[in-house]
Structures are given as C-alpha cells and as structure tokens.
C-alpha cells in the first residue's frame, strides 16, 4: 500500500479491508449459524486478498 496514492479508490479499498480484518478478530463466532457462516466466508475472502497482496509485493521486490 505504500506505493498507492493515499486517498485513491484502490488505497481506500485496501485500507478498508485491512481495518475489517483487524476488527474481525474482536468478534467471536456466536450461536447464529448463518451469521457465523457469513463471517467465516468473509474472513476467507480477506485472507485470500491478503495472500495475493503479499505475493504481489514479494514479486515486485524480487531482483
């Protein structure tokens, strides 16, 4: 994210996703099955996004 223009749409989306990932750890699973399923699916999407972001950054940094 360091190379993004702060305030751009891409930066805002990235920042929002990172904030959501950070705050999702504060919310444990509850007793509502559908809500828990939705929560876990969102976490999976966020993890996939983080992995892609990290892989892209590593490729860019490689000599």
The pLDDT value recorded for residue 41 is 93
**Contacts made by residues 45-49, CB under 8 angstroms, sequence distance 24+:** 46/17, 46/20, 46/21, 49/17
Q: Is 11 helix (H, G, I), strand (E, B) or coil?
A: helix
The dihedral built from the CA positions of residue 15, 18, 23 and 28, taken in this order, carries a sign that is positive
Q: For 14-33, write each residue's pLDDT tens digit.
A: 889 889 888 887 778 888 99
The residue behind tokens 């891409």 is 10
**Number of domains forming the structure of the chain:** 1
Residue 16 lies in a domain: yes
- 49 falls within a domain: yes
DSSP classification of residue 28: -
What is the pLDDT at residue 1? 55
Identify whether 22 is part of a domain.
yes
Q: Which domain covers residue 44, as residue numbers?
A: 9-61
pTM assigned to the model: 0.67
**Domain annotation covers residue 1:** no
* Inside any domain, residue 46: yes
Q: Has residue 24 been placed in a domain?
A: yes
Confirm whether 3 is domain-assigned: no
Judge whether 4 lies within some domain: no
Q: What is the pLDDT of residue 33?
A: 93
What is the enclosing helix (H) or strand (E) of 63? none
């Amino acid at each position: 994210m360091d190379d993004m223009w702060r305030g751009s749409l891409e930066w805002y989306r990235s920042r929002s996703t990172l904030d959501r990932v950070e705050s999702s750890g504060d919310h444990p699973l509850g007793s509502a099955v559908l809500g828990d399923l939705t929560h876990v699916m969102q976490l999976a999407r966020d993890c996939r996004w983080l992995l892609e972001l990290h892989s892209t950054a590593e490729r860019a940094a490689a000599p």
